């Protein structure tokens, strides 16, 4: 029996060591690339979430300053002794800024098509009429939202507008004829208890504004109506949220003009001492920019994380916003006041988690039922019918809103349909 030469054995061993070394080096390289990619992704998520927090919180405090800031309050009239303020005009101007930003972005997309992508926006009277019902609700939503912020403090603002989830459940039952699970209803009861306790504590502290609470409840109702009508109107603008933003705001600008005249804000503005102030107009324009930007940054946060993570981030942001408001105003709040905020935020977070779990369960059941139908048709030999079944089942509640997708990083991305403030 012939033996293999020792030289060959040694060479094979060396070759094996070299191959193993190269393999290990490749593994280490892949691990480094994966770690670097994960680090880059984590950094991107952190930056987007931070931007969402900064934009949202800044917008709330800026709107509060414009609506009831001491420095911007005008002189009192001798006859009425009331502050001369114009919340409708402020909201009107914010919508006007949004329209101008849409036109500016469209112009920039033409000049720099490789950098910015924005859909064509031109005024079509037919589409404008189709969007009008949504615009009426939209005007009510942002008006009541700003009026609530005008009459209540930022610290109570979260509780004052906390019934959105409750109205969502109620409208789902009466409008869509869909029932809600017991777990979700219990979460709503927790939110309601937090709202009632918060109102009680504001009254005990002597800082309760009844009209502010009414405006907050109205804003919550209109947020839900806005969401329902948005889904109905989106097909009119080719399911493009940026085009809907353009038509919605341009309709709102027109609708606000008679409201400003009816409520006498035109005469109020003529007597406003800061009307020629560059600081006033700068802050007004900045608030309009933040109102426009929150839609983009909210959609971006949903894209880089998930709808569930976005809602959790929003809840945490509301906590931080409340704490900052209390610190800045140097208020001392009772334990029951803080408990009311905890109930509202905790109930909202729990509702989000419950609904997310239910949607995932429905998705799995639909997918399983679809697979069983395919298998049944396959057994029966009906191959043509099998080919007609969709390959996937969309996850309810998280459908993409834009029909046409541009390249990654463009402005043509998924957008929320409700102002996320």
DSSP 1-65: -PPPPHHHHHHHHHHHHHHHHHHHHHHHHHHHHHHHHHHHHHHHHHHHHHHHHHHHHHHHHHHHH
Tell me if residue 400 falls in helix, strand or coil.
coil
Exposure string of 190-227, with b = 16+ CB inside 10 Å and e = fewer, is: bbbebbebbbebbeeeeebbeebbebbbbbbbbbbbbb
C-alpha neighbours within 13 Å on the C-beta side of residue 256: 25
Mean pLDDT over 80-97 rounds to: 79
Domain ranges of the chain: 47-388
Tens of pLDDT, residue by residue over 23-54, are 565 556 666 666 667 788 888 888 999 999 99
Residue 73 pLDDT class (50, 70, 90 cuts): low
Distance from C-alpha of 360 to C-alpha of 338, rounded to nearest angstrom: 33
Cα Dmax for the chain: 122
Q: Mean pLDDT across the chain, nearest whole number?
A: 81
Tens of pLDDT, residue by residue over 249-278, are 999 999 999 999 999 898 888 888 878 889
Distance from C-alpha of 409 to C-alpha of 421, rounded to nearest angstrom: 23
Instruction: Tell how far CA 407 is from the center of its chain.
Output: 22
**Short-list 161, 185, 160, 183, CA closest to 172:** 185
What separation, in Å, do the N-terminal and C-terminal C-alpha atoms of the chain show?
A: 85
Kindly state the tokens that stand for 14. Answer: 């060396």
Distance from C-alpha of 28 to C-alpha of 31, rounded to nearest angstrom: 5
* Length in residues, the chain: 421
pLDDT for position 414:
37
DSSP state of 206: T
| Alpha helices per DSSP H over 152-163 | 154-160
In degrees rounded to 5, what are phi and psi of residue 330?
55, 35
pLDDT for position 31:
62
What CA–CA distances, in Å, run from 19 to 8, 15, 303?
16, 6, 42
pLDDT for position 394:
39
C-alpha neighbours within 13 Å on the C-beta side of residue 337: 18
Angle at 105 between CA 240 and CA 222, to 5 degrees: 50
Distance from C-alpha of 256 to C-alpha of 284, rounded to nearest angstrom: 16
**Short-list 235, 247, 288, CA closest to 101:** 288
Tens of pLDDT, residue by residue over 142-199, are 999 999 999 999 999 999 999 999 999 998 888 878 888 999 999 999 999 999 999 9
DSSP state of 124: -
Task: Specify the higher pLDDT residue, 292 or 26.
Answer: 292
Task: Tell me: pLDDT of 331 over 90.
Answer: no
pLDDT for position 410:
32
What percent of the chain shows pLDDT beyond 90? 48
**Short-list 381, 353, 102, 386, CA closest to 246:** 102
Tens of pLDDT, residue by residue over 332-383, are 899 999 999 999 999 999 999 998 888 888 888 887 777 777 677 666 665 5
Distance from C-alpha of 397 to C-alpha of 311, rounded to nearest angstrom: 13
**Short-list 115, 407, 95, 344, CA closest to 216:** 344
The DSSP element (H or E) to which 324 belongs, if any, is helix 307-329
Cβ-contact 99, 246 below 8 angstroms: yes
Residue 415 pLDDT class (50, 70, 90 cuts): very low
Task: Specify the higher pLDDT residue, 308 or 202.
Answer: 202
């Amino acid at each position: 029996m012939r033996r293999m030469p020792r030289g060959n054995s040694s060479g094979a061993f060396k070759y094996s060591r070299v191959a193993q070394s190269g393999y290990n080096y490749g593994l280490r390289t892949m691990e480094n690339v994966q770690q670097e990619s994960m680090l880059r992704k984590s950094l991107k998520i952190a930056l987007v979430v931070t931007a969402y927090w900064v934009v949202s919180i800044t917008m709330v405090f800026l709107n509060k300053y414009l609506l009831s800031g001491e420095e911007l309050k005008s002189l009192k009239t001798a006859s009425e002794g009331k502050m001369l303020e114009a919340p409708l005009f402020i909201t009107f101007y914010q919508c006007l800024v949004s329209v101008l930003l849409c036109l500016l972005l469209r112009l920039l997309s033409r000049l720099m098509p490789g950098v910015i992508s924005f859909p064509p926006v031109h005024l079509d009277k037919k589409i404008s009429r189709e969007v009008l019902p949504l615009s009426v609700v939209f005007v009510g939503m942002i008006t009541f939202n700003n009026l609530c912020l005008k009459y209540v403090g930022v610290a109570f603002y979260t509780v004052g507008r906390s019934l959105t989830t409750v109205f969502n459940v109620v409208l789902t039952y009466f409008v869509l004829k869909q029932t809600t699970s017991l777990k979700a209803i219990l979460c709503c009861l927790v939110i309601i208890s937090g709202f009632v306790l918060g109102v009680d504590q504001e009254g005990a502290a002597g800082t309760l504004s009844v009209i502010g609470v009414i405006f907050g409840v109205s804003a919550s109702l209109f947020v839900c109506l806005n969401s329902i009508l948005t889904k109905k109107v989106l097909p009119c603008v080719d399911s493009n949220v940026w085009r809907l933003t353009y038509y919605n705001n341009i309709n709102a600008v027109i609708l606000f003009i008679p409201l400003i005249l009816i409520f006498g804000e035109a005469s109020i503005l003529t007597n406003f001492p800061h009307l020629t102030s560059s600081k006033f107009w700068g802050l007004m324009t900045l608030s309009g920019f933040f109102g426009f930007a929150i839609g983009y940054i909210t959609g971006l946060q949903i894209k880089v994380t998930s709808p569930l993570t976005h809602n959790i981030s929003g809840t945490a942001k509301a906590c931080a916003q409340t704490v900052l408001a209390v610190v800045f105003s140097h208020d001392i709040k009772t334990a029951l006041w803080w408990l009311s905020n905890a109930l509202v935020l905790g109930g909202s977070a729990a509702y989000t988690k419950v609904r997310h779990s239910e949607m995932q369960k429905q998705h799995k059941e639909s997918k399983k039922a679809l697979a069983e139908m395919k298998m049944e048709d396959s057994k029966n030999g009906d191959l043509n019918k099998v080919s007609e079944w969709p390959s996937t089942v969309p996850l309810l509640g998280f459908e993409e809103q834009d029909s046409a997708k541009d390249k990654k990083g463009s402005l043509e991305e998924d957008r929320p349909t409700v102002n996320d403030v």
